[in-house]
Amino acid sequence: MSHSARIFCNECGREQQHKVAASHDSFNAEGEVEITRTAELLECGGCGYTILRRKVHFSEFQYQPGDLDPDPEYIPGQKLRQEPVWLVSLSTNMREAFSETIRALNYDMPYLAAVGVRTVLDMVLVSKVGDYGRFETKLRKLEKNCHVTSSERERLNVLAEVGNAAAHRGFRADIGDLGIMIDILERIVQKLHVDPEKDKELSDHAKRIGAGVPPRP
């Protein structure tokens, strides 16, 4: 049995060496075939975060129980994409919709991820320009009000189109492309919802700090 493994750590956000902190085997049989189920507690060498790895071994396999299972199950699964740290500063609805969209991406659910991107984008549009019917109209109004540039509007229009196609025409977007779509969405949410709040916070601090500076003689 291997006592360490190099696997992805959700907390560190990268591959790390993990040690097998505990292991348990259970056995049963179906006819001539013996089945060994192994549960291992893996501890990250970088941060100490623990996950469960489950393996199944049938006596017909060439390799030994507990080793080299080609398809072990990890609980929780790998979070390929991390949530941005500023997500907590968004409204509850937008935060939950964004978080669910990232989860859909991480669980390889392209239809749900595409619809999620469109849903978050719609929330952004409604919050900035009101509910003006069609997506295209809202996007044009967003540009007219100088919230986005023309090239940003064109990018956002693609997100809306992919979301529509997934919801209404059974379009299954490439999972890598969905990662890029979430990059685009993150940039716009940060620009329109996160940065203005941060700017205001820093301005308030600057005023407070400035008020405490002694005047020149």
Tell whether residue 17 is a contact of Zn ion (CB under 5 A): no
Q: Does 206 bind Zn ion (CB under 5 A)?
A: no
Q: Which of 38, 40, 42, 44 binds Zn ion (CB under 5 A)?
A: 44
Report the residue from 5, 7, 11, 23 that binds Zn ion according to the rule CB under 5 A. 11
Residue 81 vs 140, nearer CB to Zn ion: 81
* Residue range at the interface with Zn ion (CB under 5 A); choices 22-30, 49-57, 65-73, 169-177: 49-57
Cis-peptide into 196, omega within 30 deg: no
For the window 166-205, what string marks contact with Zn ion as x by the rule CB under 5 A? Answer: ----------------------------------------
Say whether residue 42 binds Zn ion (CB under 5 A): no
- Residue 138, number of CB atoms within 10 A of its CB: 21
120 binds Zn ion (CB under 5 A): no
* By the rule CB under 5 A, 9 interacts with Zn ion: yes
Lookup: tokens for 97: 């919709």
Q: Is 45 in the site for Zn ion (CB under 5 A)?
A: no
Q: Token pair for residue 179?
A: 């990662």
CA pair distance 163, 116, nearest whole angstrom:
8
Distance CA 144, CA 209 (A): 36
**Does 51 help bind Zn ion (rule: CB under 5 A)?**
no
How many CA atoms are closer than 13 Å to the CA of 137, on its beta-carbon side?
Answer: 6
**Where does 30-144 have alpha helices with state H?**
92-106, 110-129, 135-144
Q: Which helix (H) or strand (E) holds 16?
A: strand 14-30
Contacts with Zn ion by CB under 5 A lie at: 9, 11-12, 16, 44, 46-47, 49
